[in-house]
Structure 1
Amino acid sequence: MNQSPQGRSVRRVYSEFPQTPHPGFGTTPGTPSQPVPSQHWSAESPEAREADRIEQRVRDEATELGTIVALADASITAMRSRTDQDFRERGAKITARVEAARQQQLDATIADEQSTTGQAAENVASAIDHLAPGSASAGWTDLWPVADGQPPARYFRVGQIAGTGDPAAALAPLLLEVGWYLEGDRATTGHLIQSALLRTVTQLPLSDLTVHVYDPRLSGLSSFLAPLRNVRSESLPEVVHDPSAFGKVLDEVTRLALTNADAIGTRQVRDLGEAWTTDGVPVGQFAVIVVLDYPNGIDEVIQEALVRLADMGPARGVNLIVQRDRTKSGGRGVKPRLLAERLLPLGVDGSRWLVPGLPEAITVADEGAPPAAVIAEAIRGVTEGAAEQHGPTILLADVLAEAGVNPGAWTEPSTDAVEAVIGRFGRAPMRIALRSENPPHPNLLVGGAVGQGKSNLLLDVIYSLAARYSPNELEMILLDFKQGLEFKRFDRDESGSNWLPHARILSLESNKAFGVAVLQYVTDEMVRRAAVFNAARCNSFPAYRAGGGEPMRRLLLIVDEFQLLFDGHDELTVEAVRLFETIAKQGRAYGIHVLLSSQTVSGITGLHVKGDSIFAQFPIRISLKNTAEESEAVLSRGNRAAADLSFRGEVIVNRNLGMATGGANERGIVAFAEPEYVARLQADLFQRAHDAGFTREPWVFLGRSPAQWPTEPPVHSRPSAWVGRPVEVTDTPVTVDVADGPDTGIALVGSGDEQAATLIENLVVTSIATRSATRVLILDGAPVPGPATQRLLGRADVFAAAGVEVVAINGAAVLDELEGLAASSVPTVVVTHTLHMLDLKATRSTNPETYEDITGSSLLTKLAEGRLAPAVSLISWWPHGRAMTEALGFDHSGIGAYLLLRVGLDDLRSLAGVHMQPFTESPRVGVLIRSDDAGCREVVPFDELTDEQVRSWLGGAVR
């Protein structure tokens, strides 16, 4: 074997490297590796040397590779170190972010929990406020609002839930739900009773509440409410301690519960609270009965009444609060268990209340008696609330629109009935229909205390009817007896237009005499219609209208404060009752209806005998708020519902003769006849009627003002002097004949300078206008001109412009002028007054033919008789009958008419008859014509003429 020179053995080298090695110790990219064939060479051989060189080279390269590897390893180590650091840093950051997110989530969770807790607290507060709003849940330091017109709370506070950061009110059902049965310490249960009573009077208006207390020990537990008796005594009757008196109270409350049950049943609701919600106003009357020291003094009868009220009472507005005294026992048959089972048991254990329905873990702490400051503030609020209590405002325009009334369309006939929409029952229209039959509801009675809206109610009726029915379907006669001018709005306005076209007669400032005249007018109309019906073979208004006869309207007579028409025992009252009874009983068959309205219906003297039979014709009764006595007078005996009304405009409507049985009482709100609206409505109705050719003005009577002159003075009528309008239903004025002839003198008798002066001037102007007088001669016996003289002289220029001379003579010269009239041929109106101041009996001369002494009296008598000067007429004024008799003789020869002013009773009866009564109204003139049998007529004298009216009258005079 060959060896290498240095003693090295020959090595075999097997190489898989390519022929051209790559610096990177690998294969050339894209070139496949190829094995190098094995070769053998000696050490000395070039191949060996080459192998050594290659080996060395490999060694060098391996060393280099190791260095590179070491560097790479160091680099990797360094990189790993940096990576670990980076990972640690990034991990720390991630951890920090995760921790922050976790904290955020934790904070959010805590916030949610806090929000949930707060919401829960709010929910509790909201629930308490919903179940027991306002004073029902208020604490002793809270504000205590009074009743706000909403139904009362059904839950009341009995204490506070202890053991929480913000103590909440503990509630128990009471009003409208269940009564209370209190057991435990007498003082503590008494505190809760006081709390419940105080909350009750602040939850319910006093007008809708009555609190009865049975206190056998006279403890005075409820005396803190005594100040409220000054507001409404009916709400807090005197405390009873006698069992028999308590029994009567329970009987009364039982009747109340039955009445409330009718109101609930007609509305088909569950209880009075729901009825209140439905109607929008209180319905029925609430009652709370407090029984102290039960069963002390309770017998079996009272026990049965209490059990019955406990069973049925709450829904019907009656609640019991019973304080149990275990040291006492009731009478025979009294079993407290029977009452306890029907009430909510509330026991007290020390200072803790045991309230059924609450978890045992909840402690309800007693809060003690109401503090004096809370009581004072609550009572003050209730007092002020009672004074300011008012209901919702409902506009007449709205209720008419809701009922489908198109004002002025006048498409509805009155054949069967006329119906007015005057307000609301809850949300339904309040309708009042006057009909002749099916069923007969002919007449309506309205009552109400002062200031409760009676006048507004009448306006609702009148305008509602006028809006629905044309003047050809309905006419109204309107009488106002309350000494006001409430109906003046239906007359023409300042422009002479816009009157209510349905108004046939308007009596403003009416008096009894004119009221009787109106009743006579209506009676005469009823007789006329009866004749028409007989001729048409009909027996009723609907039948006649259906048969197509002559046009005929329904007639509605409205009398406000009618009691003044029927009060007294005089002849006028007797006649008024007689006529009215006929109208009330028979009028419906002829389409005639009556509406009577008054503040007081009881004690009308003229109706003591026939009142029941007359009011039996008034099935529809309406009463606004009133006293219990007047409520019974308007509605019916035992029906005091009107006394329980709460505010102005609230009414009880009853269509069953006022009887309260069967839910006949309907409680509603009258609409407000807004002045601006009804004024526009009346103007629209007037225009519609005028456009349709209906231009008849209402006949207007003013009772305490001078009569209105006609628009146009008559021309070429019979010679007469106009006095005024009679207290009758007629357009014909009262006149006195001044034609030439005997016994045409006019004598005014009585005092009253201004009235006499106006009357004399009116007589002069109208007499001149109807005859050919061209001179007015005033003979005034006073030394200076009196009021009548001055009045006529003040118009001298106006008379002169019409060709009439005015001459005045005063004092003693009057007799000379009187004597000179015998030779006058000038048509003259002679006015004499204060002649009693002259010596009329003195002889002036003697007639040479008859030897008759000529005196002032004889001249005056001849003048009155028409024998002194045929073209002269006389108007004389005497202060009293004696002066006239002394001047004209006992028979007042030549006087054809007396005009009685303010005269004494002797003068009145000597002239007008021994049964004549003085007139009660002013201005009035009694007119007595000697040539007829009409007796003394009551006349309202005409007003003073204006210069323009004087010119108008004198301009049409015959010359």
Structure 2
Amino acid sequence: MKFARSGAQRGRVLTALGAIRQQLGLALGAAEAARRSAETQLARLELEQQILRAGIGKAAGDEGLAEALRHPEMAGVRDQLNAVHEAFYADAGTVPGRLRELVDQLATGPATRPPSEWLGRTGTVTLTPPPLWRIGSSTVDPSGPFPVAVPLLDESHLAITSAPRTRAAIDALVEGLILRVLSSMEPGAVRIHLWDVGQLTAVLPNLYPLSRTSAITTYDPTRLEDLLDELAGHIRRVHAQTMQSGHHSLRDMREALGQRTEPWRIVVLFGNGENWAPEPLRALKRIAGGALAAGISLIAIDLPTILGGGVENIRLLDEHHAVTSMTGADIVVDLDTPIPATEVMGAAGRLADALIARQGGPRSFADLLPTELGQENSARELRAPVGFHEGDPVEVVIGDGSPHALIGGPSGSGKTNFLYALLGSLAARYPPNELALYLLDFKEGVSFAGLAPGRRDASWLPHARLIGVNVNTDREFGLALLRFLADELRRRSAAAKEHEVTDLAALRQQDPDGHWPRIVAVIDEFQYLFAGRDAVTGQATALLEDIARRGRAQGIHLILASQDIAGIDAFWGKPAVFEQCTLRIAMPKARRVLAETNNAAIAAPKWHAVINHDSGVSHGNQLAHVPDASGRDIFASLQRKLWELYADEHHRPRLFDGAHSPLLEHLPAFGTLSPGGRPQALLGQSIDVDDVACAVELSAAPGRNLAVLGTAIAEALSIMDAGARSLARQFVPGEVEFLLCCLVDRCAPAVDQLAEILKADGHPVDQIPEDELGGRMRALAEETSSRTRMLLLYGVDAALPTLETKQPGELKSGLDHFRTVLKQGPIKGVHTLGWWRSTARLKDTLGFGGTDDIGAWAALDVQGAELSQFAAGQVVHWSPRPGRALFFDRSTHVSPEVMIPFDRPEEGIGKFRRVGD
């Protein structure tokens, strides 16, 4: 059994070994066959190479090749090569035709046609330039010639490498390309920048007739950094514009808008084959990487560096031949015949004339205006041209990217004219329901007064809601404007929150029935807001910072202007405001408006402005010639057109003129007074955005009396007069009695005149002689009347000696009775309006009873320190100003406010506006 099992195992082993031997034999046979096949295939390929090197047509005449082809394993090699050869030349024969068709489609007009058809003629292309531009032709034997073109303008840079003695050929090649471009595009659409490391002058001299226009600029070979800085700044500025508009390149934005916003630029750099210094070389590479997106194409000659972005190469072989990366190294290009120098110069001259004719001479204000008024929408931004640079408009953009503007320029630099150009351009494009203007001029002048209706011209600017002029002494009016803007900002923020949006455009979309125009507040000589170390400065700073920080989202924009360097210095300690003014406009000789290292405005010529949307850094500079917008009838003509178009739908603007006192009759509040309700005495005009009055309510409550303090006669009479006349309108005839007592002789005619006015209104008037005043005080204190009585006392301090005298047998003097009238009179319907010429005399009048019996007062030429005791003990910051009063009503005011007494005729009071005690 043992031996049987061993035999069976041995048999199985031998069987397995036999199977392995059989598989190995099969594998070795297959490998041998594969080897022989590979050797045969290799031999066939080597034979194909030999035939190709000798030429398919010559192979039959080569005895060695003929012998090899007769070998059985090489059968079919000749037939295969002949088939490929025939197929190649059959296809190659169609290539020139296809190339000609392709170039005709892509390189239209002057881009590919012979110079005789276009040389010196102006182009018409405005938006989409041809992508290819002809430089020569080539031939692939025997298929015939085909044109060779290279990309430029938005497509690629060109790198040209010279051969010995080919500078003239390169000049001709570049001149031809430039003339093809200039003759294809509309005049002014392309700018050429020339720099040559070896030439101080004579860089492409045949094109120099164009140097008298904006088409060509030549740069000093020693100032390469100027050119590189200019290009880098242009790229950054264009990139900011395109990104803000939601586009990736200037071409994308141009196609989306359907208009050209920037010219194309071709920068020709002639090198000498030597390496540049590391820093300018790095700058050039950075520029090349972003240039195409900004509409810049580089033509670099003999620069030993690799440019960024798309680059096509042209390498000259001699004066007439080159190879290009477009066609490949094996195809030689026959360069087009150079255009004769005289013809180039003549063509350049004709192109220059056409460009000058298109740009015209100095542009006028009318050139800033659109062909049709009021067609733009302000939901996203405000955009308007304010001037021209080399014939092209220069725009100011006010929106999320540049929410606020800072304008600076010394006296006579054209700042006011620029403001008129800006306001006119904006108002012509945007209707009043898209743009609301609030205009404030602190300096002593009437810059904006013409925008309100006047005696000579009844028209006004319909976009203006508020116009303030001559407010240099009324800083409170600037503060009132900021308060108004802050309130409007809160209102818009609340509406945005309600509609769950974050900006004005979205709010207008969600609330189409709401009234949400963009607001532009122009404050000229704004530094007056910070002129003092007082509450006005503190409040103005806080409000201005808040508006500057949050206004952009809600469409509220500030334009702050100053002619004094102090105005700009006032902002350096307030970065929250200064940094938000990303739009900077510097007039000639202006300092510190732009970035500290940017001195472009110093060299700016007259009637020009440097426009910068990038916080004043140099690369954002745009020089603009600003046309005359403030001359006689220039702006007025536009204003009349806008007024005729919009006046029926919009109210006239509120005009605040700090140089003139208002008239009581012109105050809206005075016109609406009528009998009924609680009577109010109107005392003067409030310094506020709205045309409202400062008023004292004379109700049946303790202390409802008024004291006028100071020695300024005209202002004191005005306040007393306005209070009495306004009260008279609130009672039916006979319902109120006026008791008048004048204790200042010079004021007697004015008091008599008031008495006549009150009588004419149907009210009883009793003029009390001075010697009867004490008795009348006793009667007023003791008697009760069914009729309201208004006691007007002029110069109360002059009556104190008389009032202090006691009559024989009486315990109380007239002054005691007067104090009773002040304390108890309002409850009984007796209200006192008294004029004291000093606070000390008023205090003497009140005695030890305190100041509660005088619920309101208006101070004239009285220092603030004297008023604290009458203002609930708070510190009063007040320095007397002509034509102004400080008003305080303890029932309504937290702190005193400045008001303007009304103007009234001064008949009968002589030339003196002040009297002594």
TM-score over 0.5 (shorter chain): yes
Contact 2:684 2:694 in 1 (8 A): yes
C-alpha distance in 2, partners of 1:463/1:441? 19
* Aligned positions of 1:709-858 closer than 5 A: 709-711=666-668, 712-716=671-675, 717-771=677-731, 774-782=736-744, 785-787=745-747, 789-821=748-780, 822=782, 825=785, 827-838=788-799, 839=801, 840-844=803-807, 853-858=811-816
CA contact (8 A) 1:780 1:786 kept: no
Supply the distance in 1 between the matched residues of 2:406 and 2:426 (Cα, whole angstroms).
Answer: 17
Equivalents in 2 of 1:768, 1:458: separation in Å? 46
Q: Which has the larger radius of gyration?
A: 1
Alignment counterpart, residue 483 of structure 1, candidates 444, 462, 473: 444
SS at match of 2:867: helix
Q: Return the letter of the residue paired with 1:666.
A: Q
| 1:339-368 Cα shifts (integer Å, max 9, x gaps) | xxxxxxxxxxxxxxxxxxxxxxxxxxxxxx
What does 1:872-887 correspond to in 2, within 5 Å?
A: 872-887=830-845
1:399 matched to 2:355? The reply is: no
Aligned counterpart, 1:701: 656
**Offset, 1:463:** 1.5
Aligned ranges for residues 300-339 of structure 1 at < 5 Å? none
- Aligned-pair identity in percent equals 26
Q: Quick one: distance in 2 between partners of 1:933 and 1:433? A: 42
Equivalent in the alignment of 1:917: 877
**SS in structure 1 at match of 2:460:** coil
> 541, 547, 555: which one pairs with 2:519?
555
Q: Measure, in 2, the Cα distance between the counterparts of 1:827 and 1:265.
A: 78
Judged with a 3 Å threshold, the aligned counterparts in structure 2 of structure 1 residues 489 and 816 are, in CA distance, closer, same or farther, namely same
Q: Does 1:864 align with 2:819?
A: no
1:453 aligned partner, one-letter code:
G
1:700 Cα shift?
A: 3.0
**CA positional deviation for 1:859:** 1.7
**Is residue 794–residue 836 contact of structure 2 (8 Å, CA) maintained in 1?**
yes
Say if 1:483 and 1:809 are closer, same or farther in 2 by CA, change over 3 A. same
SS in 1 for 2:633: helix
Per-residue CA distance 1:787-828 (angstroms, 9 max, x = gap): 2x3212124444333223444344434324434445584643
Query: Which residue identity lines up with residue 727 of structure 1 in the other structure?
Result: I
Uncovered stretches (5+) of structure 1, i.e. residues with no partner: 1-172, 179-202, 204-249, 269-303, 306-390, 848-852, 948-959
Q: Give the structure 2 partner of residue 420 of structure 1.
A: 384
Cα 1:265–1:804 shift into 2, 3 Å: closer
What does 1:605-620 align with in structure 2 at a 5 Å threshold?
606-611=570-575, 613-620=576-583
Give the Cα separation in 2 of the matches to 1:423 and 1:642. Answer: 15
Q: Deviations over 1:698-738 (max 9, x none)?
A: 23333343235325342235311001232233344221122
Residue number in structure 2 paired with 1:343: none
How many Å apart are 1:584 and its aligned residue? 1.3
C-alpha contact (below 8 Å) 2:406/2:583 kept by paired residues: yes
Q: What whole-Å deviation, never above 9, does each CA across 1:209-232 have from its counterpart, x for those lacking one?
A: xxxxxxxxxxxxxxxxxxxxxxxx
Tell me the distance in 2 between the aligned counterparts of 1:496 and 1:767.
35
Corresponding residue pairs, total: 563
| Paired AA for residue 781 in structure 1 | L
Alignment partners' CA distance in 1, 2:449 and 2:746: 36
The equivalent residue for 1:907 is 866
Deviations 1:742-784 (A, max 9, x none): 32221111120111111111111111222355543322334xx
Show the 5 A alignment for 1:185-196.
Answer: none
Task: Report 1:349-364 matches (<5 A).
Answer: none
1:926 aligns with 2:881: no
Report if the CA contact (8 A) 1:509-1:702 is conserved. yes
1:255 to partner: Cα distance: 6.6
Q: Which residue of 2 aligns with 1:669?
A: 625
Q: Residue 431 of structure 1 corresponds to which residue in structure 2?
A: 395
Give the 3 Å change call, closer, same or farther, for CA 920–774 of structure 1 in structure 2: closer
- In the aligned structure 2, how far is the partner of 1:724 from the partner of 1:748? 12
In structure 2, relative to structure 1, the CA distance for the partners of 1:604 and 1:574 (3 Å cut) is: farther
Separation in structure 2 between the aligned mates of residue 570 and residue 176 of structure 1, nearest angstrom: 62
Contact 1:416 1:435 in 2 (8 A): yes
Shift in Å at residue 575 of structure 1? 2.0
Residue 517 of structure 1 corresponds to which residue in structure 2?
Answer: 480
Superposed displacement of residue 857, structure 1: 1.2
Counterparts in 2 of 1:845 and 1:507: CA distance versus 1, 3 Å: farther
Asked if the contact 2:475/2:536 (under 8 Å) is kept, the reply is yes
Aligned counterparts of 2:906 and 2:838: Cα–Cα separation in 1: 29
- 1:505-524 CA distance string (max 9 Å, x none): 22222332221221121112
Matched ranges for 1:125-164 at <5 A:
none
Q: 1:665 is aligned with what amino acid?
A: N
Residue 395 of structure 2 aligns with an amino acid whose one-letter code is R
Partner Cα distance (1:873, 1:447) in 2 = 53
- Deviations, residues 649-670 of structure 1 (Å, cap 9, x unaligned): 1111122211113xx3221200
Q: How does 1:516-595 map to 2 (within 5 A)?
A: 516-549=479-512, 550-595=514-559
Instruction: Please name the residue that 2:462 is paired with.
Output: 501
Aligned partner letter, 1:937: E
CA distance in 2, matches of 1:654, 1:893: 58
1:254 Cα deviation from its structure 2 partner: 8.1
Conserved? CA contact 1:846–1:854, under 8 Å = no
1:340-355 equivalences in 2 (<5 Å): none
Partner of 1:271: none
CA RMSD of aligned residues (A): 3.7
How far did 1:484 drift?
A: 1.9
Is the 1:725–1:942 Cα contact (8 Å) retained in structure 2? Answer: yes
2-structure distance, mates of 1:737, 1:887: 23
CA deviation vs aligned residue, 1:368-400 (integer Å, no higher than 9, x gap): xxxxxxxxxxxxxxxxxxxxxxx9753211332
Q: Tell me the equivalent position of 2:561.
A: 597
Q: Distance in 1 between matches of 2:656 and 2:698?
A: 27
Residues 541-591 of structure 1 show CA distances to partners (whole Å, capped at 9, x for unaligned) of: 122223344231111111111122234433322222221112112211111
Provide the residue aligned with 2:595 in structure 1: 636
Q: Deviation at 1:898?
A: 1.1
Measured in 1, the distance between the counterparts of 2:407 and 2:877 equals 32
Give the distance between the partners of 1:898 and 1:678, measured in 2 at CA: 45
Q: What SS is found at the alignment partner of 2:577? A: helix
Instruction: Note if contact 2:822-2:832 (Cα within 8 Å) is conserved in structure 1.
Output: yes
Aligned counterpart for 2:644 among listed residues 687, 693, 699: 687
Counterpart amino acid of 1:618?
A: C
Matches of 2:234 and 2:497, distance apart in 1: 48
- Going from structure 1 to structure 2, the CA distance change for 1:837 and 1:531 (only over 3 Å counts) comes to closer
Deviations 1:815-842 (A, max 9, x none): 2443444558464322112232332322
Q: TM-score, normalised by structure 2?
A: 0.56
Which digits, 9 at most, give the CA deviation of each residue in 1:160-179, with x for residues without a partner?
xxxxxxxxxxxxx999669x
**SS in structure 2 at match of 1:863:** helix
Distance 2:892 2:804 in 1: 32
2:628 partner amino acid:
F
Q: Secondary structure at the match of 2:432?
A: coil
1:467–1:747 Cα change, 3 Å: same
Structure 1 residues 728 and 621, CA, compared in 2 at 3 Å: closer, same or farther?
same
Q: Does the 8 Å contact 2:865/2:876 carry over to 1? A: no
